[in-house]
Structure 1
Amino acid sequence: MEAVLPIEVEIPSMRILLNFIDEKRLKALCHGQCYQQRMVRAFNARVRHRNFNPGDLVLRKVLHVTPNSRGKFSYKYDGPFVVKEVFSGAAVILSDMDGTKNAIPVNADAIKKYYP
């Protein structure tokens, strides 16, 4: 603990003001980190994990609008497709029902399971 002169109690010196500023910065930093951890926990509590296995039937979301589409009445999903490979990071290789393999990996967020 540092010694404080009696005159510094009434009129704080720059040294004491800097100590208060550093303390407030540390407190704000700690508060921000605690807030981020709470937000991460709240978000992760609502996340539904999707597990796909090779051989599963899935529908792929249509991500673009074609020129001859029917507007809001167009199909939202294509398919069904068969899962050929599953990679880490939620990437999936799909193939058509007849077995032709698509070379483009698809994100698992853009597909959902199909139950015939």
Structure 2
Amino acid sequence: MARAFNARARHRDFNHGDLVLRKVLHFTPDSRGKFSYKYDGSFVVKEVFSGGAVVLSDMDGTENALLVNADAIKKYYP
């Protein structure tokens, strides 16, 4: 069963300097329901850890304090 799951799982590799989008995991009180944004801004990968955690920074270079899990981001191709 594990082999069948792993065959369909998509491995995500992120490198230092990649542009990514972060998934919006919280809902605001004035959200537009199903029409709200699913992903937030464009970020730059600052550091990648072996467990799948990624440190992101804004496009202007300010570093965010929180780590983001690799399954909550996707690559951005402008």
Q: TM-score, normalised by structure 2?
A: 0.98
Written as runs of structure 1 = structure 2, the 5 A alignment for 1:23-38 is none
- Structure 1 gap ranges (5+): 1-38
Q: Between the two structures, name the one with larger relative contact order (CA 8 Å, sep ≥ 6).
A: 2
Identity of aligned residues (%): 85
**Greater share of helix residues, 1 or 2?**
1
Deviation at 1:68, TM superposition (A): 1.3
Q: TM-score, normalised by structure 1?
A: 0.66
* Aligned equivalent of 1:52: 14
* Aligned equivalent of 1:65: 27
* Aligned equivalent of 2:43: 81
Runs of 4+ in 1 over 6 A off after TM superposition: none
Distance 2:8 2:41 in 1: 27
* TM-align CA RMSD: 0.5
**Greater share of strand residues, 1 or 2?**
2
1:110 to 63, 72, 75: 72
